[in-house]
Amino acid sequence: MVAQIELDLAHSYRANPQQDTDYALLPLQMTFKAGGAYALLGPSGCGKTTMLNIISGLVKPSQGRVTFNGEEVTGLTPQQRNIAQVFQFPVIYDTMTVAENLAFPLQNRQMPREQIKKRVGQIAEMLELNGQLNQRAAGLSADAKQKISLGRGLVRPDVAAILFDEPLTVIDPHLKWQLRRKLKQIHQELKHTLIYVTHDQVEALTFAQEVVVMTRGRAVQVGSAEALFERPAHTFVGHFIGSPGMNFLPAVCTAQTLQIGASRLALPPALAQKLTGTTALQLGVRPEYISVHAQPVAGSLPVQVMRWQDLGTSGLLTVQADAGTVRVRLAGSQASQWQVGQTVHVEVIGTHSCFYENEEWIA
């Protein structure tokens, strides 16, 4: 049965954790809904693989519990939990053919031969392996071997969940793009609970319905690609999502104005009321949502143009304000009209501006 997975736990690899840095996973509560497609996204060492291994049963949490469909499974093995897991590197039998590798998990569960043949054919077609079913795995490329590994994870129809630990690392970049789309299609067809670990934001945002962004053992935001881009709940999410990430400028709010460096910008009264009295305030704005003007406009800062880069379909303008560096993404023709050394005005207050106190979104 497809599982709804709930976590209420913390984990440390140390015997007596005393402080946050002693934890691989800080205390968290999280629900992965049955049939959902999730990505755990974050840099190396943030705790995402630890979380995946706790879900699978390879690691027992040092505190708390794991439940599948309301039943506690904290002490159960991966086999008892009925989990399929796909790892970073291929886990297959080189001496077997592609078909034999795909069939192996089903044979272990004594599925009838005709059902095995039908299921292997279905998964092979999904992964475009049907032309290689009778080839031995030993002679295949690393890409093909990892596709077999993916197939072995997907082939069992009765699993509670399928867990992927950076499964496309060894895949050729073009094939990686195809497989991301293919996995999304497969999920829509099979409706398994899928949880996918990656440090690649494109991979996570392409594949998942919901992305869990992690840093320093914490899950700082869970949301759709749109939510993570439009309203990052934490400054780390703003930095990590986007290319380039969100711009952040230190600010102080007093008397219905926002002071950024030497500039004072007018704020709508309702927003000023929310921000007055804050400490460690930062203005966050995406490069895509900043406009550049030759003359001052409402909500703009004077800046000096440092450089611009032609990115093909767009240009990236880097400017220097007295409060910090700001990056602006513009249509290529717009970016090239501004000269290095020129003073221009960047509009940073608008409907997409976000405000943070002590790294957390407040307005």
Mean pLDDT across the chain, nearest whole number?
Answer: 92
For residue 295, the 8-state DSSP code is S
Band (pLDDT 50/70/90 cuts) for residue 335 is low
Q: At what angle do helices 98-108 and 142-154 cross, to 10 degrees?
A: 20
Q: Could you tell me the pTM of the whole model?
A: 0.90
Taking only the tens place, the pLDDT of each residue in 170-225 is 788 878 887 888 888 888 888 899 999 999 998 898 889 999 999 999 999 999 99
Taking only the tens place, the pLDDT of each residue in 262-290 is 999 999 988 999 998 888 899 999 999 99
Nearest to 202 by CA among 39, 361, 326, 334: 39
Q: Which 3 state secondary structure label does DSSP give 59? A: coil
Q: How far is CA 111 from CA 27, 103, 116, 166, 189, in A?
A: 41, 10, 6, 29, 21
